Amino acid sequence: MSNITFIFPLFNLSENDRLTKLNRAVASVEGQGKVLFVGKREDLDLVTAGGTKVVNDTDNLTYPAQVMLGVKAVDTEYFSVVEQDDVVSDKWAGCVEQYISSFNDDVFGYLPLTEVIDDKTNETISYANEAFWASSFSEELGFLDLNAIQDYLNFNTSGGVFKTKEFLSLGGLKTSMKLVFWYEFLMRALYKQKKIFVTPRVGYFHYSDVEGCLTDQYANTMDEKEVDWWVELAKKEYYFPQDRNKTYEEE
C-alpha cells in the first residue's frame, strides 16, 4: 500500500533492548508503505533502518507531541502510528486497502483486531477491539460509535490507519493530554460523524508489560484518582477541536 506512512515515535532507544525491538517493528512493515521516525536527535542517530527522520527539538517530548510532529511531515494519504515495541501483521496494509476499495473511500479510519502479548513470556494475554464485532455492542456491526465508547476503554489505536488530511483538520491529538489522548480524539472524530471501522482480522501485535514503555510510565506515576480524572476530562473536551491545556493540578 504505497499511500500509507508508518510513524514510529521514539523514546530512550539506548535503554534495555529497545533498539532491537524497534528493528523488529520496522521489519514488520517492510514493503507495506513508507517509514517515518520522530524523536530526539540522540534517538534518531541510533536508527539504522531506512526511512524519513523528523527531529523533535522542542521542549514537548510527550507521546502525542511526537505523533503530531510525525503526522505533519507525512506526504501520503494515510498514516499509521506504530509503537516501537510492537509488531504489525505483514498483511495489514493489504487488508486495509481491500476495505478502502469496499467502502468506496467513505471511512476515515481503520483499527486492527489486536493481539496482546506478554513481553516476558511471549504468550497471548487477550485481544483488543474485538467487542465491536459483538452483536448489539455498537449501532453498526464493526464500527465505533460515540455511545459505545463512552463507557468502554478496552481498545487499541496503535496500528490504526487514518486519513492524514482529515486527521489534521479535526485537530489531531491534544499534546497537553496524558493517557487519554487517543480516546479523546476518537470521541471527537465520532462526534464529527467520521466513520471508524474495526477490521475482523488481527493486524497488530501489542507487547504488554514492557519495562519503561508509556503504559508502564503512567502506571508508575498515576494513581486511580488521576486516571479517572483524565478519562472524565476526555469526555468533556472532545467537543472542542483546540487543545485547552487542562492539567490535573488545576483540580
Q: Which domains does the chain have, with CATH numbers?
A: 4-239 (3.90.550.10)
Please name every residue paired with 52 in a beta bridge, in sequence order, or none if there are none: 36
Can you read off the three cell numbers belonging to residue 186?
476518537
3-state secondary structure of 153: coil
Q: Cα angle at 229 between 223 and 234, to 5 degrees?
A: 130
Conformation bin of residue 136: beta by default, left when phi > 0, alpha when psi is -120 to 50: left
Give the whole-angstrom CA distance, residue 25 versus residue 221. 27
Contacts of residue 111, Cβ cutoff 8 Å, sequence gap at least 6: 129, 144, 155, 156, 157, 159, 160, 196, 197, 198, 199
Amino acid 216: pLDDT: 65
User: pLDDT value at position 151?
Assistant: 80
Per-residue tens of pLDDT for the chain, all 251 residues: 779 999 999 998 988 789 999 999 999 999 999 999 999 999 999 999 999 999 999 888 889 999 999 999 999 999 999 999 999 999 999 999 999 999 988 999 999 999 999 999 999 999 999 999 998 899 999 999 999 998 888 789 999 999 999 999 999 999 999 999 999 999 999 999 999 999 999 999 999 878 766 676 776 788 899 999 999 999 999 999 999 999 887 54
Say what the pLDDT of residue 212 is. Answer: 65
Q: How far apart are CA 117 and CA 128, in angstroms?
A: 11
pTM of the model: 0.95
517493528: which residue's cell?
25
In sequence order, what are the residues at sequence separation of 6 or more whose Cβ sits closer than 8 angstroms to the Cβ of residue 122?
A: none
Q: Give yes or no for a contact between 83 and 11, defined as CB atoms under 8 angstroms apart.
A: no
- All residues at 6 or more sequence positions from 240 whose CB lies less than 8 Å from its CB, including other chains: none
